[in-house]
Each structure stands twice: as C-alpha cells, then as structure tokens.
Structure 1
C-alpha cells in the first residue's frame, strides 16, 4: 500500500532526523490530512482518471470477446469471500454488454473472459469468485472463460493475449474502471491487442474538513496507477517489456 509506505518514510525520517522532528511531524500530519480530507486526493484521482478512453458506441461482431479485469475480493460481514464494490460494477457492465451482444444478431457468438488470479491469497481466484455473479446475470456457462493466473494488469493482458491466440474473434471489448483503463490499454497494446475500452465506473472523493478513509483509499489507488504507468514507460525504454 503506497500511502502506508509514505507513512513509514515519514516515521523513519522522524526517527533519524532528530533536529527536525517537529517539522517532520507537522509535515506528515499536513500531508495525511490533505489526503484524507480530499484536498490532495482529488487532484491525484483526477490525474489517474483523466483521459480514460471510453467507446461511446460499442461495435459487436459475429465473434465478440468481452474481457473484464479483476480488482480483488474481500470478506463480507458473514465471512464470505465476495467481489469488491468496483468489481461488482464491472461485472454488471460486462453482463449488460453480453446481453447487448447476444441481441445484436441471432447467430452472434459472445464470449466473456474474466481475467484475475489470486494476488491477495484468498480462498479462490478473482475469476472463480466473479463467475457465479456473471452466471446469475444470464451469462451462459459455455460463453464464460476464466483466466486464473494473472496477478497484475500486465499479466492480465499477457494471459488474455495467450487465450486469444487460439481463438477466432472479430470484436474485442475491455471492461474496467476509469482509473485503470489507461494502464490496461498500454498493457494490451504491448501484446498486440486493441480492444474497445468500456469504462465501468469512476471513483469520487468527498472533500471537506473531516478526514475520510475512502479518500485515502482513492489516493492509494491513484498513486498506484500513476506509478504503474510511469513504470510501464520506463520498462519499455529499457526493453524489459
């Protein structure tokens, strides 16, 4: 967690720089209040989500593939492992696209690929956890493919590309949240894929005086995406991607 790492750096600086402990403490308190109250989290989130591509009129083909990216799982109050809120929105958007695809032509072949392994080391992969929700939303079992090995967005693209090499398709759609879309499109392009981007949702902060955990979460997500995009370009420059 990037925000936690920032806190750890301030704490280390506080311990090591004895002469400036008051200044470090005040600076740390100011930074975390600005993040938690939304004043610094807002521009970070705007930066991460700005320019996220979205296809206004999705084109369905005779053989359409809809890819939805995982975004984690969590345990609810009953201890049951469920998709995170953003994942539920992605699932709903994917099911709506699948329904529209099926209605686009009587003979249309519509395939949904759920891409998500188990980076959190929970009981099941994201793909396995999301699948029942898609089935309940009328996605046919025969049209559902689960990619269970990827641990990050780059691997999402890598593994989906591997699946598509053995499959014919004439329309490719990518579903994810606004904050992840730009990095996802970079990664899919790296493997020669040019999907139609469909943004499922965008995150918002609540700015004010009272610190809010949700603002810190959004700031962490935004920093993760901005750093991830910078990392992609650095790795490409060095030939590592």
Structure 2
C-alpha cells in the first residue's frame, strides 16, 4: 500500500523469484550454500577410524505417512543405509560398535523418528542390542545435547556423525558446542533439477536450504546472547 507506484515491479520480481526457486536456478545456489563445508557423500572411512569402542550417531529427519503407515522419508533411508554400512565395517575391526539413533517427535506423529527408524536398521543387519534410541530431542541442538548426555565419559574411542550434507554444517556446530568432535560422514547430497518449469521438489529443496542457513545464523546469534 505504501509503494503503489512500485506494485508492478514488486509483482514481477516476486514471480521471477518464485519461478527461479521452482525451476532450480535459485534453489541450487541455496543448497550449495547450505551444504558448503560438508564432506563429500560416499566418502570411505579408514579402518583405523574405528576404535575398540565406536559410536555411530545417526540424526533423524522426520517421518512421513505412506500407504497408511508411518515411514522414514528418503533422506532418512539414506542415513539408515549409511549408518548400517559403517556399523558393518566397524564390526570387522572393533569389538564394540553402537548405532545411536537421535530423533524425537517434532511433527507430533504417532511415533518418534528413532522408533520409526528402528525396524529399518534391523533389516540392515544391525542387531537390536547394538542400537541406542534417543527419542526425545526435537531440534538439532537437542540432538547434540541429548547424545552428549548418554555418552559415558571415555567409553567410546571414536565418534562418527551421520546426516545429510545440507544438515551437517549446523549439526557440527551443535555437537562442537557440547564438547564433541565427531567424524562427519555424509549420507546423501541434495541437488535441484534445473529447467524451464517449476518443480515441487525444487521448492522443497529451497525450503530445506533456507531452514539450515537460518538455523546457522540463529546458532551464532544465540551463542552471542548466551542462550546456547
């Protein structure tokens, strides 16, 4: 209302930004910015990385309903497969290997992330006795805080953190905040699809990237204020 003379320009810019997000031309730079600093996906972890006692921490990423069932989304499946692969290699060289699944129920579905992911880890040949469920955290900050609380001092000689590339930079900030220095292992990297027509997935990717970038800014602001 205050910029009536600029309505046409504002409207045109809004349409251009909306199109650039949906067509991938703006979504991909946002993803690149959010995923900057994360190690490449599919990296090989050297056998020497696994200590006598190793903890593999897998972070949750929500749950979705499919065919009337609550299931892990695509990114969560990638994290599960990656964590199970790390566990299998860990058992070849180490005596004690645990997968810690951290994820509560921020979406208020009928089950927590950790409990929903559990059957999928079992299918990937991770024994139930070697899985630790942390199913109360609602944010990445709480993931780190709650994992730190359940790690016995000096028990684990190696700590590995598994999450998606877009989530890794913010997750590391939170884990470092609680005195943990895990080896980051990326389960998957998101890529927008560039084209002429907007795609729903590109909007989703842009939303994820913005959420992570805002979360990183929030972390630093809260640290300066003494809230984190």
TM-score bucket of the superposed structures, by smaller chain: over 0.9
Matched position secondary structure for 1:111: strand
Q: Do the aligned residues in 2 keep the contact of 1:53 with 1:182 (CA within 8 Å)?
A: no
| Structure 2 residue runs without a partner (length 5+) | none
Alpha-carbon shift at residue 18 of structure 1 (Å): 4.5
2:84 is equivalent to residue 95 of structure 1: yes
Q: Superposition RMSD on alpha carbons, in Å?
A: 1.5
**Which range is displaced more, 205-214 or 165-174?**
165-174
Corresponding residue to 1:32 among 2, 18, 28 = 18
Residue aligning to 1:10: none
Alpha-carbon shift at residue 135 of structure 1 (Å): 0.7
Q: After the TM superposition, which residues 161-180 of structure 1 pair with which residues of structure 2 at under 5 Å, given as runs?
A: 161-165=148-152, 168-180=155-167
**Which range is displaced more, 191-200 or 231-240?**
231-240
2:69 is equivalent to residue 64 of structure 1: no
Aligned-partner Cα distance in 1 for 2:2–2:189: 40
Residue aligning to 2:127: 140
TM-score of the superposition, structure 1-length normalised? 0.89
2:72 is equivalent to residue 83 of structure 1: yes
Alpha-carbon shift at residue 56 of structure 1 (Å): 4.5
Alpha-carbon shift at residue 74 of structure 1 (Å): 0.3
2:206 is equivalent to residue 216 of structure 1: no
Residue aligning to 1:240: 227
Residue aligning to 2:184: 197
1:55-85 Cα deviation digits (max 9, x unpaired)? 6434001111000000011011x11110010
2:113 is equivalent to residue 126 of structure 1: yes
Residue aligning to 1:111: 98
1:118-169 Cα deviation digits (max 9, x unpaired)? 0111110000000000011111111111001111111100000001146711
Alpha-carbon shift at residue 238 of structure 1 (Å): 1.8
Using a 3 Å threshold, how does the CA distance of structure 1 residues 138 and 56 change in structure 2: closer, same or farther?
Answer: closer
Corresponding residue to 1:150 among 116, 137, 142 = 137
